[in-house]
């Protein structure tokens, strides 16, 4: 009953996919995931065409392999548990396909497996494209390496290399999870992969090689007897309440969905900050784009000083918001009030400590002559010292009283050490050189 219910759920998901409203061209091009999807498609489409042309066109065995791979992917799919890759039984079909027909059939079997995975767990289009792309490109690279080895040795050696290369690619995929919001510790990875996954890959590889021998002798019924025990085991485990991996897999999908939503909120937050920068310039009565130029220059200085990644994006956003307190004051009114009001506006932001410090301290000076608190030297955060220099340079080179870049640099250099941080001023000259003037600020990329 459990398998039957799973089958109904699978076909219901398939109907939901096919009945969903087709997105328009404008919707697709407006989607921020589209560039990554296009790159993946550009990589896998030529591979699929090559595999389809070179695969056996009339072969009952070939068709049976594709059907068996799809069935096994349903009743005994791959799963990831705490960094441990539980290899699905369909992998042995891929090994048998490679041993019988070579790389084209292994690639097409991988494609079938990827499509079934995407249909079984509908997620964002990019996640589905990644699942299918990896299922195609993994067998491709493993098969190419195995073919090179098999040219100089026995066919069995090529199959062994195919299994080893497939394991290496899975290990590489797991290691990529060591970075990013969902990062795992290296202990989780190594405990998860050793010794379980090598044994799983080796065991399924041996089954796949033996399966190839049976299929070469014309015994296609072996595929049926391969699938049935897995289906029975899956149903038994589910009935006994031991199917923990499905719940963990569901939690991982929910986690991926949550991370995607967090990324969407972060992008929306960035767009809001950009809009506030425009409002700040309007309120202050200065040239439109002044605040953006300050943020760009601050970002280039910060990058040259070794600030990178998320910290660089925080610096950029802090520079965009450094005068946000002006929005709470009458036009033309400045002084310490706008620093204090701006800091209070963002004080309750999560992870907004650096932004608040920049807003509050960007008018402080190294010798203590600034405001609102008269801070000195290292008591002023580096990001605020960077924004102070960037703001001064942009103010000197903008508006009706603008001076040349050289004059502005000379002016700021004359206040080096007394008002402005020496290292920041030294970096300013590099940041405003023509060859770097058009460098765009780095933005945080969310998974």
Considering Cα of 439, then 440, then 444, then 447, what sign does the dihedral take?
A: negative
Domains identified in the chain and CATH numbers: 2-18+30-244 (no CATH), 265-436 (1.10.3210.10)
Q: What is the pLDDT of residues 380-401, one digit of tens each?
A: 999 999 999 999 999 999 888 8
Taking the C-alpha atoms of residue 427 and residue 412, their distance in angstroms, rounded to an integer, is 12
pLDDT band at 287 (very low <50, low <70, confident <90, very high): confident
Count of helix runs (H) and strand runs (E) in the chain: 19, 2
pLDDT digits (tens, 9 = 90+) for 193-216: 667 778 888 888 999 999 998 988
pLDDT 10s digits, 5-62: 544 554 454 444 444 444 444 444 445 556 767 777 788 889 999 998 998 877 888 8
pLDDT for the residue numbered 190: 56
Q: What integer pLDDT is reported at residue 114 of this predicted model?
A: 87
Percent of the chain with pLDDT over 70: 75
One DSSP character per residue, 388-406 reads HHHHHHHHHTSSTT---HH
Nearest CA among 154, 153, 165, 176 for reference residue 106:
165
C-alpha 234/C-alpha 61 separation (Å) is: 26
Q: Which pLDDT band holds residue 412 (cuts at 50, 70, 90)? A: very high
pLDDT at position 362: 94
Indicate the average pLDDT of the chain: 79
- Extended beta strands in 39-191, E state: 79-81, 84-86
218-240 burial: b if 16+ Cβ within 10 Å, else e = eeeebbeebbeebbeebbeebee
* pLDDT attached to residue 277: 87
Report the C-alpha gap between 357 and 296 in whole angstroms.
Answer: 19
Q: Residue 403: pLDDT above 50?
A: yes
Position 415 scores a pLDDT of 94
Q: Give me the mean pLDDT over the 106-119 stretch.
A: 89
133 compared with 196, residue with greater pLDDT: 133
Residue in 318, 425, 297, 411 with CA at minimum distance from that of residue 362: 318
Mean pLDDT of 353-379: 93
Residues in the chain, total: 447
pLDDT of residue 57: 79
pLDDT digit string, tens, across residues 70-107: 888 888 777 655 455 667 888 999 999 999 999 999 99
- pLDDT given at position 299: 94
Check whether 437 has a pLDDT greater than 60.
no
């Amino acid at each position: 009953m459990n398998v039957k219910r799973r089958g109904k759920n699978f076909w219901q998901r398939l109907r939901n996919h096919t009945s969903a409203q087709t997105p328009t061209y404008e919707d697709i091009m407006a989607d921020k995931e589209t560039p990554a999807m296009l790159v993946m498609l550009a990589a896998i489409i030529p591979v699929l065409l090559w595999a389809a042309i070179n695969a056996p066109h009339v072969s009952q065995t070939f068709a049976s392999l594709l059907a068996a791979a799809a069935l096994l992917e349903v009743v005994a799919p791959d799963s990831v548990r705490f960094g441990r890759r539980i290899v699905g039984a369909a992998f042995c079909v891929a090994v048998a396909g490679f041993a019988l027909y070579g790389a084209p059939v292994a690639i097409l079997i991988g494609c079938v497996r990827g499509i079934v995975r995407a249909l079984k767990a509908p997620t964002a289009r990019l996640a589905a494209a990644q699942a299918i792309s990896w299922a195609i490109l993994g067998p491709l690279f493993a098969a190419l390496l195995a073919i090179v080895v098999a040219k100089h040795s026995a066919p069995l050696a090529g199959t062994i290399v195919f299994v080893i290369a497939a394991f290496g690619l899975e290990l590489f995929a797991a290691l990529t999870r060591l970075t990013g919001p969902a990062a795992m510790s290296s202990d989780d990875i190594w405990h998860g992969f050793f010794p379980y996954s090598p044994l799983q890959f080796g065991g399924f590889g041996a089954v796949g090689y033996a399966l190839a021998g049976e299929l070469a002798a014309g015994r296609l019924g072996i595929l049926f007897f391969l699938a049935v025990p897995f289906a029975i085991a899956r149903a038994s485990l589910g009935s006994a309440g031991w199917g923990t991996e499905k719940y963990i897999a569901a939690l991982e999908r929910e986690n991926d969905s949550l991370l995607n939503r967090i990324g969407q909120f972060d992008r929306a937050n960035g767009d809001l900050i950009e809009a506030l920068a425009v409002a700040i310039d309007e309120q202050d009565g200065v040239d439109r784009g002044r605040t953006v130029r300050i943020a760009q220059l601050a970002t280039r200085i910060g990058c040259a000083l070794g600030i990178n990644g998320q910290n660089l994006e925080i610096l950029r956003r802090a520079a965009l918001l450094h005068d946000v307190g002006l929005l709470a004051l009458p036009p033309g009114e400045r002084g310490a009030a706008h620093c204090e009001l701006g800091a209070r506006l963002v004080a309750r932001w999560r992870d907004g400590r650096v932004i608040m410090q920049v807003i509050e301290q960007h008018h402080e000076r190294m010798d203590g002559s600034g405001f609102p608190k008269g801070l000195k030297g290292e008591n002023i955060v580096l990001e605020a010292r960077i924004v102070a220099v960037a703001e001064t340079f942009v103010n000197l080179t903008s508006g009706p009283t603008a001076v040349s870049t050289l004059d502005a640099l000379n002016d700021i250099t004359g206040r080096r050490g007394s008002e402005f941080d020496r290292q920041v001023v030294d970096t300013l000259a590099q940041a405003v050189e023509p060859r770097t003037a058009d460098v765009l600020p780095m933005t945080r990329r969310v998974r």
